[in-house]
Amino acid sequence: MSTYEHLLYLSKAGAPLLHISSYEWERVRGLAIGLSNKLDLPLHVWSQSTGLLACNEHGDLRIEDDAATDPMELLQHIHGGDEPGIWLLEDFQPFLREEHHPILRWLRELARLPASPRKIVVLSTPLPVLPLDLRKEIPTVELDLPGVDELRVVLEDAAAAMGVRASADEALLDAARGLTVMEARLAFGKAAAELERLDHASVPLVAREKERIIKQSEVLEYYPTDARMTDVGGLDQLKEWLDRRGRAFGAGARDFGLDAPKGVLLLGVQGCGKSLLAKAVAATWQFPLLRFDMGKVFGGIVGQSEGNIRTALQVAQALAPCVLWIDEIEKGLAGMGSSDQTDGGTTARVVGTLLTWMQEKTAPVFVVATANRIDMLPPELLRKGRFDEIFFVDLPTRAVREEILAIHLERKRRDPKDFALADLAERSVGFSGAELEEAVREGMYDAFAEGLELSSDHIARALDKTFPLSRTMRDQIDSLRHWAKVRARLAAGEPPEVLPADNPEAAAPRLRQEATRNPFIPGSRS
């Protein structure tokens, strides 16, 4: 059901108050004009800057009362008048706060108006959250981001405004998906100013502008990636599983009866390739990659956090098919259990919105979430239906360490055959992929300082100087392995490698604890 149909049926059902949540004033006003024409009711548009305006069936405005800038007087006038009509109150969010209790009360009075004369008040706000006083009496309708048809209209308008030739290329319209009407108009206009036309050649310019706009939201980041599956060492079972899931996005999958894959949770040791895999999945499937920063969702303004999460999910759905990468998801979910005592339930509502969306979404948005700490993950996240599968990414085994070292040597334009990879892999038991990469980098610094070509000895010395996480965080890794044994699938085909026994001489360095005399102890001077 379209947003317009939803509003129309609510109006026919007798709802005197409606709430439309969207930043796109032009589309909201268009919906109000459509209701006015369909219900044969005059339309009045109000904002605190313009006062009351009359709007005809074509959207033309004329001043009705430019002195009517007080919202409470306007609500009293609507309530007490005998004239039927629709009143669109634009940017009404500043007055929907507890300190404006008289205004909230008058809105509740309007919600109880009789069916005759027919009066409909439409509140337009950027954020979807209403005060508790009004949530049960005013239905909220969230306006989805524009689709291809709306973007085609914006493209034609932008071309006409810039006086350039336009070709409604499908790739060009797809490049603007995920933007509001205002953002798309700006992106098309910028491309037209640079190329003096709008056609397939404008796709990279519009995509680059979209990347800037999405990044500006601070919650989502459009993440270009050239990573490949071959850049990820090991994880054979996970790669095979992802290959099967990727096929389910192809032609014929829906006809076969397959649902769009939901996503995967990658749980495991830090530095073992979870984030790299998210980038490689998007590049392999040729999907846009959106990085979702849960920590930036939470804002200080009332309702801002809920608005941020809804906007982020709307953008992800508008860009579908895409990969939504939530890195270290446990950090964004911290505090959910005590949310009602610490932040008035904001965290619980935000997380609840995310979990419900993950469960119910039908758009082809593949979620790749990574986590390092199982103790911070709520049980609701781990239940079936949120993700297709949970994989445990363990430390690389000896054969995989050889593969990882070879990958990083090739990146540094060195031939892996010139290095004793088997020996290096043998002496790096318990090292993560990130630690092996750093050893290669450190070896190169040493070789350059010595004026020599990089050799196995340089890398071996770097490995010997490194204290891996498996030594400093052994208890946490053992706990992770124990948890994953019955709750997750292993990402690698081989069983995990036994970590070496603790060697006191090789243990992580500790601060020296020397016996000292405290001269300030009473009687110590004697």
Do 121 and 241 sit in the same domain of this protein? no
Separation between Cα atoms, residue 503 and residue 269, nearest integer Å: 21
Percentage of the chain beyond pLDDT 70 is 92
Say how far residue 133 (Cα) sits from the centre of its chain.
30
Crossing angle, helix 433-450 and helix 398-411, to 10 degrees? 50
pLDDT greater than 60 at residue 424: yes
Lowest mean pLDDT among 133-147, 354-368, 505-519: 505-519
Do 160 and 135 sit in the same domain of this protein? no
pLDDT greater than 90 at residue 142: no
User: What is the chain's mean pLDDT, rounded?
Assistant: 86
Closest residue by Cα to residue 313 from 356, 266, 255, 370: 356
The pLDDT score that the predictor gives to residue 170 is 81
Q: What is the CATH number of the domain that holds 102?
A: 3.40.50.300
Separation between Cα atoms, residue 477 and residue 429, nearest integer Å: 14
Separation between Cα atoms, residue 481 and residue 490, nearest integer Å: 10
* 87 vs 235, higher pLDDT: 87
Residues in the chain: 526
Q: What is the CATH number of the domain that holds 186?
A: 1.10.8
Lowest mean pLDDT among 141-150, 227-236, 290-299, 317-326: 290-299
| Residue 180 lies inside a defined structural domain of this protein | yes
Query: Which of 18-27, 300-309, 493-502 is modeled with the greatest confidence?
Result: 18-27
Closest residue by Cα to residue 36 from 88, 103, 74: 88
Lookup: tokens for 110: 């309007």
Do 112 and 77 sit in the same domain of this protein? yes
What one-character-per-residue DSSP string does 308-373 give?
HHHHHHHHHHHT-SEEEEETTHHHHHTTSTTHHHHSTTHHHHHHHHHHHHHHH--S-EEEEEEES-
Lookup: tokens for 263: 């996503």
* 373 vs 154, higher pLDDT: 154
Lowest mean pLDDT among 89-98, 110-119, 208-217, 405-414: 208-217
| Residue 156 lies inside a defined structural domain of this protein | yes
Residue type, 241: W
The pLDDT score that the predictor gives to residue 76 is 94
Do 112 and 167 sit in the same domain of this protein? no
Separation between Cα atoms, residue 214 and residue 206, nearest integer Å: 12
Lowest mean pLDDT among 59-63, 170-174, 329-333: 329-333
Backbone torsions φ then ψ of 167, nearest 5 degrees: -125, 120
Do 317 and 346 sit in the same domain of this protein? yes
| Tens digit of each residue's pLDDT (9 = 90 or more) over 434-449 | 999 999 999 999 999 9
Separation between Cα atoms, residue 405 and residue 402, nearest integer Å: 5
| Tens digit of each residue's pLDDT (9 = 90 or more) over 147-180 | 888 999 999 999 999 999 888 778 888 888 888 8
Of 353, 371, 393, which residue constitutes the final position of a domain? 393
User: Predicted confidence band at 260 (pLDDT cuts at 50, 70, 90)?
Assistant: confident
pLDDT greater than 80 at residue 509: no
Mean pLDDT score, 267-274: 86
The pLDDT score that the predictor gives to residue 305 is 77
The pLDDT score that the predictor gives to residue 39 is 94
C-alpha pair distances (Å), 308 with each of 148, 215, 321, 326? 23, 13, 21, 15
Separation between Cα atoms, residue 344 and residue 339, nearest integer Å: 6
Mean pLDDT score, 490-494: 84
Mean pLDDT score, 451-465: 92
| Residue 450 lies inside a defined structural domain of this protein | yes
| Tens digit of each residue's pLDDT (9 = 90 or more) over 16-57 | 999 999 889 999 999 999 999 999 999 999 999 999 999 999
pLDDT greater than 50 at residue 506: no
Mean pLDDT score, 135-145: 89
Separation between Cα atoms, residue 462 and residue 468, nearest integer Å: 12
Of 352, 372, 393, which residue constitutes the final position of a domain? 393
Do 294 and 374 sit in the same domain of this protein? yes
Of 451, 466, 481, which residue constitutes the final position of a domain? 466
Say how far residue 247 (Cα) sits from the centre of its chain.
24
Q: What is the CATH number of the domain that holds 442?
A: 1.10.8.60
pLDDT greater than 80 at residue 288: yes
The pLDDT score that the predictor gives to residue 60 is 93
Separation between Cα atoms, residue 133 and residue 113, nearest integer Å: 17
Tally of domains within the chain: 4
Backbone torsions φ then ψ of 42, nearest 5 degrees: -65, 145
Separation between Cα atoms, residue 287 and residue 307, nearest integer Å: 25
Query: Which of 87-96, 202-211, 295-304, 367-376 is modeled with the greatest confidence?
Result: 87-96
Closest residue by Cα to residue 7 from 109, 180, 94, 123: 123
Do 210 and 240 sit in the same domain of this protein? no
What is the DSSP pairing of strand 61-65 with strand 51-55? antiparallel
The H-assigned helical ranges of 146-295 are 148-162, 170-175, 181-195, 203-216, 236-247, 253-256, 274-285
| Residue 61 lies inside a defined structural domain of this protein | yes
| Residue 39 lies inside a defined structural domain of this protein | yes
| Residue 492 lies inside a defined structural domain of this protein | no
Do 242 and 389 sit in the same domain of this protein? yes
| Residue 514 lies inside a defined structural domain of this protein | no
User: Predicted confidence band at 336 (pLDDT cuts at 50, 70, 90)?
Assistant: low
Do 200 and 309 sit in the same domain of this protein? no
| Tens digit of each residue's pLDDT (9 = 90 or more) over 85-129 | 999 999 999 999 888 899 999 999 999 888 889 999 999 998 777
Q: Across the strands, what pairs with 166? A: 198
Beta strands in 385-428 (DSSP E): 389-393
pLDDT greater than 60 at residue 342: no
3-state secondary structure of 255: helix
Lowest mean pLDDT among 99-108, 210-219, 448-457: 210-219
The pLDDT score that the predictor gives to residue 513 is 55
Query: Which of 372-376, 459-463, 489-493 is modeled with the greatest confidence?
Result: 459-463
Do 44 and 78 sit in the same domain of this protein? yes
pLDDT greater than 60 at residue 190: yes
Lookup: tokens for 131: 């005060």
Q: What is the 3-state secondary structure (H, E, C) of 81-140?
A: CCCCEEEEECCCHHHCCHHHHHHHHHHHHHCCCCCCCCEEEEEEECCCCCCHHHHCCCCE
pLDDT greater than 70 at residue 285: yes
The pLDDT score that the predictor gives to residue 469 is 85
What one-character-per-residue DSSP string does 36-98 give?
HHHHT--EEEEETTTEEEEE-TT--EEEEETT---HHHHHHHHHH----EEEEETT-GGGSSG
| Residue 497 lies inside a defined structural domain of this protein | no
Do 135 and 154 sit in the same domain of this protein? no
The pLDDT score that the predictor gives to residue 334 is 65
Given a contact cutoff of 8 angstroms between Cβ atoms, the answer to whether 325 and 290 are in contact is yes
Domain encompassing residue 28: 3-142
The pLDDT score that the predictor gives to residue 511 is 53
Give the H/E segment covering residue 264.
strand 263-268
Lowest mean pLDDT among 214-228, 293-307, 323-337, 470-484: 293-307
Do 419 and 306 sit in the same domain of this protein? no
Given a contact cutoff of 8 angstroms between Cβ atoms, the answer to whether 247 and 253 are in contact is yes
Backbone torsions φ then ψ of 162, nearest 5 degrees: -90, -10
Closest residue by Cα to residue 263 from 367, 369, 392: 367
Lowest mean pLDDT among 60-69, 206-215, 229-238: 206-215
Separation between Cα atoms, residue 19 and residue 307, nearest integer Å: 14
Separation between Cα atoms, residue 18 and residue 160, nearest integer Å: 34
The pLDDT score that the predictor gives to residue 92 is 93
- 250 burial (CB, 10 Å; 0-12 / 13-18 / 19+) is exposed
Residues 6 or more apart in contact with residue 353 via CB below 8 angstroms? 306, 309, 310, 313
User: Predicted confidence band at 138 (pLDDT cuts at 50, 70, 90)?
Assistant: very high
Separation between Cα atoms, residue 129 and residue 345, nearest integer Å: 13
Residues 6 or more apart in contact with residue 382 via CB below 8 angstroms? 265, 390, 487
